Amino acid sequence: MPGPLSGLLVVAVEQAVAAPFATRQLADLGARVIKIERPGGDFARDYDAAVHGQSSHFVWLNRGKESVELDLKQDAHVLRALLARADVFVQNLAPGAMGRLGFGASLAEDFPRLITCDISGYGSDGPYRDRKAYDLLIQSEAGLISVTGTPSSPAKVGIAAADIAAGMYAYSGILTALYDRSRTGRGCAFEVSMLEALGEWMGFPYYYGVYGGSAPVRSGVHHATIAPYGAYRAGDGAVLQLGVQNEREWLEFCRVVLLLPHVAVDARFASNSARVAHRSELDAVIDSVFGGLSGSELVGRLESARIAFGQQRTVAEFAQHPQLQSRDRWRTVSTPGGDVQALLPPVTVRGQEPSMGPVPAVGQHTESVLRWLGF
């Protein structure tokens, strides 16, 4: 079946992660996405050469798109011709760059049905407007690094959290704008900043820190405000992440997993706040039991007690995850360097298969798109 966005034309002057992440999801849903790349290509093509000589970021973010290589300082008329046919225009160049090329506020007048999405680091105004904004910098500015890591060492999140957050809100904003246009007949212009997108994800630490008087403590792989919750090692070296969320589970954990029911009513551990305050003592009790169990024995006890747990997997182990294999969640996607396995988008609609088209080479579709436009 054609995707729900089939027939939709998306034009993207995009680079790096945030905007490509948003438009790739539109492509997966069947939209035609024309990606405008600067001469030489999106610089994310050169981040690494891990995937058949290609960038892992680029392969992840750009399947199903058509690549058109343009120098917009000379070929702005080509972009204008594309926008005359487009439903959605996405861009994440430096603030003001599109305006200097002649694609500013007048777009709404020239193309009243066009939906325009501008993605930036800090927004279109304010004192930080013109600052360069990379993911690490936004993670720092939003306070994410301050609550990540261990008590002695803050850490960057291992994925591009700020870019992904901005891309997700751009994607949902575009879908919202399309729905609104179906009712009003008019497009709209909206913006998403990386700082504000990641700031929304910082809701728990914000409320906890501002109204509670102190920020959540950096606790590594443990939870800052729940115990026991985090990584524990069995006697054979197997590492499991487990979480006890309420007092009923705590009683069962002590009775079935630890085989120490008296620990449940120990004053140091009788409530979650008490367990957090005495975390080191609690962990000593847990480690003394877990150290005498194999990983499979520990899993058996956790399953019997219906305590939530997960295996601490490597990336390679995730790629072979039995749940994903059982649910047939991997598809083959072609790239200029060779085929790769790609995970299906997480939204599953019965009877619909996401498009998941090939990853384009730089400028692969320039000639065909120019012919289509009549140049």
Retrieve residue 3's tokens.
């995707």
Q: Which of 305, 226, 240 is nearest to 269 (CA)?
A: 226
Which residues belong to CATH 3.40.50.10540 in the chain? Answer: 9-203+331-373
What's the full length of the chain, in residues?
Answer: 375
Fold of 229-311: formyl-coa transferase, domain 3 (3.30.1540)
**DSSP code per residue over 342-353:** EEPPS---TT--
Give the contacts of 284 (CB within 8 A, at least 6 positions apart).
none
The rounded distance, in Å, linking the Cα atoms of 191 and 212 is 32
Residue 47 and residue 346 in contact, taking contact as beta carbons nearer than 8 Å: no
Residue 77 and residue 375 in contact, taking contact as beta carbons nearer than 8 Å: no
Residue 337 and residue 16 in contact, taking contact as beta carbons nearer than 8 Å: no
Which secondary-structure segment (H or E) carries 328? none
DSSP 215: P
**CATH superfamily, with its number, for domain 9-203+331-373:** Crotonobetainyl-coa:carnitine coa-transferase; domain 1 (3.40.50.10540)
Q: Write down the pTM of the prediction.
A: 0.91
Q: What is the pLDDT of residue 27?
A: 98
Q: What is the pLDDT of residue 55?
A: 97
Which residues belong to CATH 3.30.1540.10 in the chain? Answer: 229-311
**Weakly modelled stretches of the chain, pLDDT under 50:** none
Residue 223 is a catalytic residue: yes
- Helix, strand or coil, per DSSP, at residue 155: coil
The rounded distance, in Å, linking the Cα atoms of 144 and 138 is 8
- Helix, strand or coil, per DSSP, at residue 283: helix
Q: Which of 57, 223, 321, 365 is catalytic?
A: 223
